[in-house]
Amino acid sequence: MASIWLLQLPSLPFQHRVFSNGTSFLLHRRHCLSQRLNWIPLTPNRTFFMRAVNGPMSSEEDNCAHNEVVDRAKSTLVVDSRHPLALFQESIASFPPAVFLMKIFPRNYFTVGLCITIAIMVVALRAYAERKPSQSHPGSVADLVRRGQLRPDRRGVSRPLNYDDPFNNPLVKVGKSNSTVEMCGKQYRLAPVNLTKEQQAVHQKRRSRAYQWKRTTVFLKEGDSIPADVDPDAIRWIPANHPFATTASDIDEDLVQNNVYQQCGVPFRIQAEHDALQRKLEALQKEEKLNNLLIDSRNAKDFQRPFKLNDWSEDPVEQGPINNSRVETKPTKTGHASDSIESDTSSEEMKQP
Amino acid sequence: MPRVVVITSGKGGVGKTTTTANVGLSLARLGFFVVAIDADVGLRNLDLLLGLENRVNYTVIEIETPHRIRLKALVWLVDALKARDERSPDFILIDCPAGIDAGLITAITPAKEAVLVTTLEITSLRDADRVTGLLECDGIRDIKMIVNRVRTDMIKGEDMMSVLNVQEMLGLPLLGVIPEDSEVIRSTNRGYPLVLHKPPALAGLAFEQAAWRLVEQYSMKAVMAEEEPKNRGFFSFFGG
């Protein structure tokens, strides 16, 4: 249960008035540590009053002051503690910030509740706005993308950036003191670059001493003699059995240089492969046509005269000549040969009683 | 006249192709005409990062096979681009293969500037130093550095060198510092470069800034040293 304490300072070097509003005490005293502080519990109240008295007090005066304060405190108690609203008010009053706010807006705790409600609504609205929609509305461009009519990445390229300078970017925020930068929500500390021109020159000299290299200008096969005006460090030797060595004499450099824009058409090698594939395809197609001309056991019904079902069941031997003809005209290919073997066995089975 | 820039590193897997794709796209978004060439003839990857793997018609291998021709092919190609009757490109970016053999020599031949990509590992730094020496021997003096895959948490815990340490070791001006970002892998999987993401990723913003510094031909004056906890005000839980 909330309670209020009365602070009684028996003696102080100087007199001053202390105001208490439930949240702060302003005490300007020099000998506070040496003073005796008496805390007197009082019944719950919204306000309490404290008075500091200078100078030593007699015990009688002290008791009088004490009683006076207690009486005043009791007399200011106007709230009925039995009422539930009063209990609610007491609980609010027990928290200093609430008491502070209630002092500013007396008897208007609805304002506090309203502010809190508005804050919660703002948070909820922001979360709702940032939430990605699970499905776009029907009939949108997203349906075209889903169906494969549109490429999804094209839509991003069509809209260029709105800023000319990548550094004048709303996503890149440099701190006021130029010591921090914020990119994509992360903050980084900046450290200055301290490479000078002299240091760069030192590194270049170091590398020129460490790495000696000359560009290859002449390619020679093994066994070739070195021309007189060529630096030996600029020669690259190609082994005699290397493909690059064998085809060196077949290349017309001028033709190759002029063919950068494919002015002479498709390269020879590609054309030759294409022609070979074309010939192979034509050969395969010819073979398929030939195969389709032969009588297939599956398609034999197309060439048979229609017969009655009774004749078929009573006299199966009559099928023999037809089966024999099928056997004689069996094709050479293995696939069809297996079919003919099957037809032979079936005809033999049919001949058996 | 187009600016021919080779993007190299020496060590493989440090982010040359990623840098080429993202810086090239950033330059294109800024309105420049950019041509990106993947000089890694046998193991091309630039088309994958740009999502163009199904649109490749021919490669250099199919057109000009012999080695000595391939060496000149890139030079002829760049000369042909410079001599275009229509608008010639503003930037030609050459993605160099790893190593210091014929692939590197081919790629750096037509270049006048170089961007060296490195990470905060000693192996990458040693290779980068070697490649820088070769570039300087070949006459390329305008070399700037991009430090990739930077982890500020490891730098703070002194488990990783800082960017300033790297600059002290190599002595090269800084073009950009790219923080480690998992969006890089996702963008590679999608074939959708990082700089096109909306909202922009952290690494994407860093690539954009590096592209602008390349345009303006200046280097970084301050680097992001470490991540600091953000000061949150009283109303921060409202989203402010």
Q: What is the pLDDT along chain B (240 residues), one digit of tens a residue?
A: 899 999 999 999 999 999 999 999 999 988 899 999 999 877 888 988 888 887 777 776 666 555 555 667 788 889 889 888 788 899 999 999 999 888 898 899 999 999 999 999 999 999 999 999 999 999 999 999 999 999 988 888 888 888 999 998 999 999 999 999 998 998 888 888 888 887 788 899 899 999 999 999 988 888 887 777 666 656 555 554
Q: pLDDT-derived band of residue A172, with 50, 70 and 90 as boundaries?
A: confident
Which of B52, B76, B78, B234 to probe by mutation at the A interface, max A CB count within 10 Å?
B76
Q: Which of A87-101, A103-117, A191-205, B189-203 has the lowest mean pLDDT?
A: A87-101
Comparing alpha-carbon positions, the chain B residue that sits nearest to A220 is B68
Which range in A14-28, A104-118, A132-146 is most confidently predicted, on average pLDDT? A104-118
Half-sphere exposure of residue A48: CA atoms within 13 angstroms, side-chain side:
23
d(CA B182, CA A295): 64
Q: Does A180 touch chain B (CB under 8 A)?
A: yes
Chain A nearest-CA distance from B6, in A, is 17
Chain B partners of A202 at a C-beta cutoff of 8 Å? 171
Q: Which one is predicted more confidently, B178 or A305?
A: B178
The shares of helix, strand and coil residues in chain A, as percent rounded to the nearest 5, are 50, 10, 40
CA distance B39 to B36: 9
Look over chain A and give the mean of its residue pLDDT values, rounded to a whole number: 62
pLDDT at A311: 47
The count of other CB atoms within 10 Å of the CB of residue A234 is 11
DSSP string, B173-221: -EEEEEE--THHHHHHHHT--GGG-SSPPHHHHHHHHHHHHHHHT---S
Using only the alpha carbons of chain A, give its radius of gyration.
Answer: 53
Strand, helix or coil for residue A171: coil
Contact (Cβ atoms closer than 8 angstroms) between residue A245 and residue A221: yes
Angstrom distance (rounded) from CA B124 to CA B132: 12
In angstroms, rounded to a whole number, what is the distance separating the alpha carbons of residues B65 and B56?
Answer: 17
Res A52 pLDDT > 50: no
Residue numbers of A between 249 and 308 with CB closer than 8 Å to B: 251, 253, 256-257, 259-261, 267, 269-270
The residue-averaged pLDDT of A266-277 equals 66
Q: Residue A133: is the preceding peptide bond cis (ω within 30°)?
A: no
pLDDT of res. A37: 43
Residues 6+ away with beta carbon under 8 Å from A179: A189, A190
CB A45 within 8 A of CB A76: yes
Residues in chain A: 353
What pTM value is reported for the model? 0.55
Q: Answer yes or no: are the C-beta atoms of B226 and B152 closer than 8 Å.
A: yes
Residue B12 annotated as part of some ligand binding site: yes
ipTM of the complex: 0.82
What is the pLDDT, as a whole number, of residue B127?
94
Residue A198 touches chain B, beta carbons under 8 Å = no
Distance of alpha carbon B1 from alpha carbon B4, whole angstroms: 9
pLDDT classification of A288: cutoffs 50, 70, 90: confident
Of the pLDDT bands very low, low, confident and very high (cuts 50, 70, 90), residue A235 is confident
Instruction: Look at A96-100, A287-291, B216-220 and tell me which has the smallest mean pLDDT.
Output: A96-100
How high is the pLDDT of residue A97?
A: 56
Which of A157, A211, A257 lies at the smallest CB-CB distance from B76?
A257
Per the model's pLDDT, the better-predicted residue between A2 and A162 turns out to be A162
Are the C-beta atoms of B100 and B11 separated by less than 8 Å? no
Contact check, Cβ <8 Å, B208/A166: yes
**Amino acid present at A210:** A
Cα angle B95-B97-B99, degrees, rounded to a multiple of 5: 140
Highest mean pLDDT, choosing among A12-16, A73-77, A234-238, B228-232:
A234-238
Provide the H-helix boundaries in chain B.
16-29, 46-49, 60-63, 67-82, 102-108, 122-137, 152-156, 163-170, 183-190, 202-216
Q: CATH homologous superfamily of domain B3-237?
A: P-loop containing nucleotide triphosphate hydrolases (3.40.50.300)
Q: B239 in the Ramachandran plot: left (φ > 0), alpha (ψ -120 to 50) or beta?
A: left
| Per-residue pLDDT at A171 exceeds 50 | yes
In chain A, what are the domain boundaries?
169-213, 214-250, 252-293
- Please state the separation of Cα A280 from the chain's center in Å: 50
Find the range with the poorest average confidence among A117-126, A226-235, A258-267, B199-208: A258-267
In chain A the beta strands, taken as DSSP E runs, fall at 4-8, 38-42, 172-174, 180-183, 186-192, 218-221, 235-238
Question: What does each C-alpha distance from A162 to A156, A165, A168, A273, B231 come to in angstroms?
Answer: 13, 9, 10, 50, 29
Report how far residue A36's alpha carbon sits from residue B147's, in angstroms, rounded to the nearest whole number. 69
> Would you say B140 and B113 are in contact if contact means Cβ atoms under 8 Å apart?
yes
| Residue A296 burial by Cβ neighbours in a 10 Å radius (0-12, 13-18, 19+) | middle
Distance from CA of B207 to the nearest CA of A (A): 10
Residue A202 confidence (pLDDT) above 90: yes
Q: What is the pLDDT of residue A205?
A: 92
Question: Collapsing DSSP states into helix, strand and coil, what is residue A144?
Answer: helix
> Using CB atoms, which residue from B133, B200, B227 is nearest to A186?
B227
Residue B240, pLDDT score: 45
Q: Give pLDDT, residue A42.
A: 45
Closest-approach residue (CA) in chain B for A267: B63
* Contact residues for A100 (Cβ-Cβ < 8 A; gap 6+): A21, A22, A23
Which of A169-173, A223-227, A274-278, B99-103 has the largest mean confidence? B99-103
